């Protein structure tokens, strides 16, 4: 157990299912399929394995041609962040930084060296390590800002992979529809099968447009939002460590950093107010 004034070991933020992503996909699917069935259609009308194979295979192939392999691998690894949220709390990060600022003010900046093994976030650990080593503040900021810039560039590259897939999928769907029509045209002698064949042929177009607008493009937006939040946390950390190096009072550091967590703080206040109101109602009952 950490003594008073010392920071306790920090745990990595835990991941939880993203209700917005899962709920959005369920709502979109229910709306489209529900509309189809209300219009007299059947699920079997759009259940075409060949169309799905053409769209997904063609889209993946086009993305592989466009994207460097290392970026493609990173994009695949980031797919989980679309469905699971691993969000760092800005308020918790501020509390952690203030604990380091308090210790540094009492025992000098060098005393933070003992805290390095307890710092879970690699960015924060690196920044404090540089400060403990006596790195000039301007040089420290340049090095950490370079890390932020590289992370931003990497995040944009990952999002563009899914944006590219969203651009290719509808076109591949059209290719699938044309291939289906080619097969239909071979059997014009059986007019009853022509109409059914044309309907089946256009399923690939549905898959292409649906995958682009219900998954690939929204996934790109969600990944951008994830990286944007992560960069905001890194900027908060950098400002906090810079303030520690400058020797600012921990109270002033907290005031300075709370601007990064204004939205989160308002959410917490709203939750506390709701909890207090619920307790008051329960007490009256």
- Residues 123-150 pLDDT 10s: 999 999 999 999 999 999 999 999 999 9
Residue 207 lies in a domain: yes
- Residues 205-243 pLDDT 10s: 999 999 999 999 999 999 999 999 999 999 999 999 999
Give me the chain's average pLDDT, please: 85
Rounded to an integer, what is the distance from CA 58 to the centroid of its chain? 26
pLDDT band of 37, cuts 50, 70, 90:
confident
92: which 2 tokens?
């918790």
Residue 230 lies in a domain: yes
Quote the DSSP letter at residue 2. Answer: P
pLDDT band of 3, cuts 50, 70, 90:
very low
- Residues 86-125 pLDDT 10s: 878 889 999 999 999 999 999 989 999 999 998 999 999 9
User: How, if at all, do strands 16-17 and 84-85 pair?
Assistant: antiparallel
76: which 2 tokens?
């695949």
- Whether the pLDDT of residue 271 is over 60: the answer is no
Residue 4 lies in a domain: no
Rounded to an integer, what is the distance from CA 244 to the centroid of its chain? 30
Residue 275 lies in a domain: no
Nearest of 197, 223, 171, 200 to residue 63 by alpha carbon: 171
pLDDT band of 2, cuts 50, 70, 90:
very low
What's the chain's Rg over C-alpha atoms?
A: 27
Residue 17 lies in a domain: no
Residue 213 lies in a domain: yes
- Whether the pLDDT of residue 69 is over 90: the answer is yes
Predicted local distance difference test score (pLDDT) of residue 119: 92
- Residues 149-171 pLDDT 10s: 999 999 999 999 999 999 999 99
Query: How many structural domains is the chain composed of?
Result: 1
pLDDT band of 185, cuts 50, 70, 90:
confident
Predicted local distance difference test score (pLDDT) of residue 264: 59
Q: Which structural domain range is residue 193 located in?
A: 45-266
Rounded to an integer, what is the distance from CA 87 to the centroid of its chain? 9
Kind plus residue range of the DSSP H or E element containing 30: helix 19-38
- pTM for this one? 0.79
Residue 97 lies in a domain: yes
Quote the DSSP letter at residue 8. Answer: P
CA distances from residue 35 to 31, 40, 51, 209 in whole angstroms, order as listed: 6, 9, 21, 16
Residue 203 lies in a domain: yes
- Whether the pLDDT of residue 266 is over 80: the answer is no
Predicted local distance difference test score (pLDDT) of residue 194: 74
Predicted local distance difference test score (pLDDT) of residue 252: 92
Rounded to an integer, what is the distance from CA 151 to the centroid of its chain? 13
Tell me how far apart the alpha carbons of residues 153 and 148 are, in angstroms, rounded to a whole number. Answer: 9
């Amino acid at each position: 157990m950490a003594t008073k004034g010392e920071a306790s070991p920090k745990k990595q933020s835990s991941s939880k299912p993203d209700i917005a992503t899962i709920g959005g996909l369920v709502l979109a699917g229910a709306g489209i399929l529900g509309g189809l069935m209300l219009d007299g259609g059947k699920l079997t009308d759009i259940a075409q394995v060949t169309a799905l194979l053409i769209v997904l295979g063609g889209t993946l192939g086009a993305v592989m041609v466009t994207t460097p392999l290392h970026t493609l691998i990173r994009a695949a690894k980031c797919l989980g962040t679309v469905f699971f949220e691993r969000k760092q709390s800005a308020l918790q990060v501020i509390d952690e930084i203030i604990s380091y600022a308090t210790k540094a003010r009492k025992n000098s900046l060098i005393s933070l060296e003992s805290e390095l093994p307890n710092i879970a976030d690699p960015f924060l650990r690196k920044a404090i390590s540089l400060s403990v080593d006596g790195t000039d503040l301007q040089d420290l900021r340049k090095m950490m800002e370079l890390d932020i810039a590289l992370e931003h560039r990497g995040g944009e590259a990952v999002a563009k992979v899914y944006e590219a897939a969203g651009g290719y999928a509808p076109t591949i769907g059209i290719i699938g529809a044309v291939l289906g029509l080619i097969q239909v045209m071979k059997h014009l002698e059986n007019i009853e099968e022509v109409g059914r064949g044309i309907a089946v042929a256009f399923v690939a177009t549905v898959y292409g447009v649906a995958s682009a607008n219900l998954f690939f493009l929204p996934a790109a937006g969600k990944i951008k939002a994830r990286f944007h939040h992560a960069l905001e946390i890194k900027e908060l950390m950098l400002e906090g460590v810079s303030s520690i190096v400058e020797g600012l009072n921990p109270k002033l550091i907290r005031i300075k950093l709370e601007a990064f967590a204004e939205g989160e703080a308002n959410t917490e206040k709203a939750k506390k107010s709701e909890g207090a109101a619920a307790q008051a109602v329960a007490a009256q009952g």
